[in-house]
Homo-oligomer: A and B are copies of this chain.
Amino acid sequence: MPFVHIEWLEGRTLEQKRELAKRITDAVSEVAGSPQQNVHVFFTDMKREDYGFGGELTLDRQQK
Chain A's interface: helix, strand, loop or mixed, by majority? mixed
A36 and B61 alpha carbons, distance in the complex (Å) = 14
* Oligomer copy total: 6
In the assembled complex, the CB of A21 is this many whole angstroms from the nearest CB of chain B, namely 5
In the assembled complex, the CB of A5 is this many whole angstroms from the nearest CB of chain B, namely 4
Q: Are B20 and A27 in contact, CB atoms less than 8 angstroms apart? A: yes
A51 and B23 alpha carbons, distance in the complex (Å) = 14
Pick the residue among B5, B7, B26, B31 that contacts A55 (CB under 8 A): B26
With A32-B8, A32-B12: A38-B20 Cβ-Cβ less than 8 Å: no
A8: B residues at CB distance < 8 A: 1-3, 28, 32, 34
